[in-house]
Structures are given as structure tokens and as C-alpha cells.
């Protein structure tokens, strides 16, 4: 028997009885998606027409608001299968209209680009985070991280999609963009690490005396430097002018570095403070046994722009440096009550892997809610360490 009620609302009618589903919600990938299946029902077939607005709910909480892309009755089985995406799917597909960037900050520009698919652009995930957790107990959180909502130098190229332009603006501002589960807001911001842990996950080792504390189906720890560098140098290749040419153009550069020794990591905060005064950025994640450098040529108009790009590239790669994936039963935890607190992105969790010794506070960046006849209800959660910079 299912613990959770998963349903789809279309034209005001709620459709239940889904025998399998795969629903993805993420704050690092703007477009969320769903795939679902139920025994064939003619009334459901008539309602679930492609391009219809739909809401996907878990226990009455809307976790995805979007549009139906496909419906299918396969040859070999008497079932109805549907798939679709949230409202950001529209931004991904549609060409961006002309935008006047003059006198507008990031929120103004995002609102113009995202209209009419989003009526509100917000710089806070507070409301969405509260709604997605459902009726269960909610951990306390501090203020949302702030950032300067300046405009950008982006120009809309012919054929660029709305999402491509929006992501380029967010890259310049070093922020993420994702949609609220209920579709009421497009959120632009950064992860909120100023939260108490909402969930706890423990993976014991094989001979553990704490085996009874296990509350996960599986936990994977991955650390990698394969696509990361101890130093990323961006060299400007922007066109020169009559008074700005030759070596002056090549001097438009920026460098982002990461510590390479234990001592370096311990001094990372001080290095970051000093480095910024010299136009060099430092990352605290990971260490390298020897320098590993990447040089990128990019059209930039100033050293500051080159530096910003180097920092974003370092943050994007560093975000892959340590990832924790946890597979858990159901779609939430009961915390001091009878109601489930639903798993959702931008929530903190306490993680302990007794096998590797990895332990600490981690941030949920993506959730995949799944169910099948064989495995029942489960959720796959993706985490990054607390404090990790995230970039598009």
C-alpha cells in the first residue's frame, strides 16, 4: 500500500491511481520533468491531451506546475503513459523576444523574459521552501542570501531561447534560476545555507554497531578532480581600439585558484581575502598534489569581466568536486509528528556515512521522486556540501 498520494490535476480534475512515476525537481537545472503511468482509462486519456496545463502533486502539495508534452498507449501494454515539464520548459523552447536592457535590473529583465509563463519573479525561495515541505515540521532558516540585482551586457541573438538569455544574465550575476513547485514564481537566487538541518540520513558500515540507526536504502559518495583545476586563467581576446590594442588587450585576464595542500586549505579564508585585493579568487573545495591549470580565451571587455568569468568557471567545476547521492524510502520523513515533511531542494540535511567517515551538513540540490510496482516509493536526493558555491 502506498504511503503517499501522487496525483495529476488537469482542467480542475484530480487523477489518481498512478502505478509508476518519475518526477524530478532541481534548483541547479531550471527545467523539471515528469513521467507517469496508470492502467488505461478512457476518461483520463480524454483529459490528458498534449500541451494541457497540469499540476503534479504529492500528498496535496504541488511540486510541479507545467504542461503535458506526450501521452501514449504502448502496443504491448494496456496502460496510459504521460510525460511533460514545468513552466521552464516553455522558456527552454521559445525564442526570446526583443528586450530593452536600459534602466532595468536583473529582476525586471527576468520578468520581461519569463512573461507570460511566470507572473512573478522573486529573489527569495522562502515561500516555495515552506510550501514544498507540506504539513510536516519545518526547520528554522535565516535570511535569504542577498546579491546585487544589476542588469547585464547581454544582447539577444536571433534564435536564442528565453532560457538561454535568462541563464546568461544569471551567470553574470552569479546566481541560479529555478521555478517554484506550484509555478507561482520564478526564483532567482543562491542556496540558503543559513538553515537548521531538516532531515537526517545515516549509512552504517557492514559491521556497524549502529546498524539499527540506518534510514537509507543506499548512499553514494563521489569526490573528483577529473574536470577540476587548481587554477583557471581567463585571457581576454576582446577587440582592441585605437588607444587600447596589442598587449593592453591581452592583459585583460582573470585567475581563480584553489589550495593544493592541507596547510593551504586551512589558510583558505585568509587567502581568499588577500587574493580578492589582488584580483584573484580562491576556492576552498578540494586539493591537488600538483598544480593543474586551465587557460581559457574569451572575448571580455575588462580584467574584472575576465576575473568574474574565471570565478564562475571555477565554481561550476568545483560543484562537481564532492557529491553525495542518497536513496531513501518514501518521499519525506516524519519528524515529531504524523505528517510527512516532503523532501525538496534548497533544504539542509545532516549526513553521516560510517563507511567513509564523511559527515556534516549538506544541501539538497535535486530530488527525484519514484515509484514502481517492484520497488515501491523512493526518492533519490542529490547533495553538495554546505557552503559550496553553485553556478549555472
Give the pLDDT confidence score for residue 1 in this predicted structure. Answer: 58
Task: Please return the burial class of 331, using the count of CB atoms within 10 Å of its CB with bins 0-12, 13-18 and 19+.
Answer: buried
Per residue in 225-261, pLDDT (tens digit) is: 999 999 999 998 655 444 444 444 456 788 887 654 4
Domains (range + CATH), the chain? 6-86 (2.30.300.10), 91-189 (3.55.50.10), 199-224+321-385 (2.30.300.10), 231-315 (no CATH)
Closest by Cα among 314, 294, 328, 327 to 388: 314
Residue 336 falls in which region: left (phi positive, over 0), alpha (psi -120 to 50) or beta = left
Give the pLDDT confidence score for residue 151 in this predicted structure. Answer: 65
Give the pLDDT confidence score for residue 76 in this predicted structure. Answer: 84
What distance in Å separates the CA atoms of residue 165 and residue 30, rounded to the nearest whole number? 13
Longest dimension (CA), the chain: 75
Give the pLDDT confidence score for residue 270 in this predicted structure. Answer: 44
What distance in Å separates the CA atoms of residue 122 and residue 211, rounded to the nearest whole number? 43
How sure is the predictor about 266, in pLDDT bands with cuts at 50, 70 and 90? very low
Per residue in 143-201, pLDDT (tens digit) is: 898 777 776 666 677 789 999 999 999 988 889 999 999 999 999 999 999 999 999 99
The whole-model pTM stands at 0.85
Mean pLDDT, the chain, rounded, equals 87
Q: Are 88 and 31 in contact (CB under 8 A)?
A: yes
**Mean pLDDT value across residues 104-126:** 95
Give the burial string for 12-27 (b: 16+ CB within 10 Å, else e): eeebeebebbbbbbbb
Closest by Cα among 27, 4, 15 to 370: 4
Q: By three-state DSSP, how is residue 276 classified?
A: helix
Whether residue 207 has pLDDT greater than 80: yes
Amino acid at each position: 500500500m502506498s504511503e503517499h498520494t501522487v496525483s495529476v490535476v488537469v482542467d480542475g480534475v484530480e487523477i489518481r491511481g498512478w502505478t509508476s512515476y518519475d518526477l524530478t525537481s532541481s534548483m541547479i537545472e531550471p527545467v523539471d520533468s515528469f513521467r507517469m503511468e496508470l492502467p488505461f482509462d478512457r476518461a483520463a486519456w480524454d483529459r490528458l491531451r498534449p500541451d494541457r496545463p497540469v499540476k503534479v502533486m504529492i500528498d496535496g502539495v504541488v511540486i510541479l506546475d507545467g504542461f503535458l508534452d506526450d501521452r501514449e498507449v504502448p502496443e504491448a501494454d494496456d496502460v496510459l503513459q504521460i510525460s511533460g515539464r514545468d513552466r521552464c520548459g516553455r522558456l527552454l523552447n521559445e525564442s526570446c523576444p526583443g528586450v530593452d536592457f536600459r534602466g532595468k535590473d536583473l529582476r525586471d529583465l527576468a520578468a520581461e523574459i519569463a512573461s507570460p509563463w511566470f507572473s512573478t519573479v522573486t529573489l527569495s525561495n522562502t515561500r516555495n521552501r515552506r510550501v514544498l515541505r507540506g504539513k510536516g515540521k519545518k526547520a528554522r532558516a535565516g535570511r535569504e542570501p542577498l546579491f546585487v540585482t544589476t542588469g547585464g551586457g547581454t544582447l539577444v541573438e536571433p534564435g536564442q531561447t528565453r532560457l538561454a538569455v535568462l541563464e546568461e544574465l544569471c551567470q553574470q550575476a552569479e546566481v541560479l534560476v529555478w521555478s517554484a513547485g506550484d509555478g507561482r514564481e520564478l526564483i532567482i537566487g543562491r542556496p540558503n545555507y543559513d538553515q537548521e538541518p531538516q532531515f537526517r540520513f545515516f549509512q552504517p558500515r557492514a559491521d556497524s554497531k549502529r546498524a539499527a540507526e540506518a534510514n537509507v536504502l543506499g548512499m553514494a559518495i563521489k569526490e573528483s578532480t577529473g574536470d577540476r583545476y587548481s587554477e583557471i586563467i581567463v585571457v581576454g581576446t576582446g577587440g582592441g581600439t585605437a588607444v587600447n590594442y596589442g598587449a593592453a588587450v591581452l592583459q585583460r585576464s582573470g585567475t581563480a585558484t584553489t589550495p593544493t595542500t592541507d596547510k593551504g586549505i586551512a589558510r583558505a579564508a585568509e587567502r581568499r581575502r588577500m587574493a580578492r585585493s589582488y584580483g584573484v579568487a580562491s576556492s576552498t573545495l578540494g586539493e591537488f598534489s600538483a598544480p593543474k591549470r586551465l587557460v581559457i580565451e574569451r572575448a571580455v571587455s575588462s580584467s574584472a569581466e575576465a576575473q568574474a568569468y574565471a570565478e564562475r568557471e571555477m565554481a561550476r567545476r568545483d560543484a562537481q568536486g564532492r557529491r553525495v547521492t542518497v536513496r531513501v524510502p518514501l518521499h519525506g520523513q516524519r519528524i515529531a509528528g504524523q505528517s510527512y515533511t516532503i523532501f525538496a531542494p534548497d533544504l539542509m540535511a545532516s549526513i553521516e556515512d560510517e563507511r567513509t567517515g564523511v559527515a556534516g551538513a549538506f544541501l539538497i540540490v535535486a530530488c527525484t521522486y519514484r515509484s514502481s510496482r517492484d520497488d515501491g516509493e523512493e526518492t533519490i536526493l542529490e547533495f553538495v556540501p554546505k557552503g559550496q558555491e553553485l553556478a549555472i
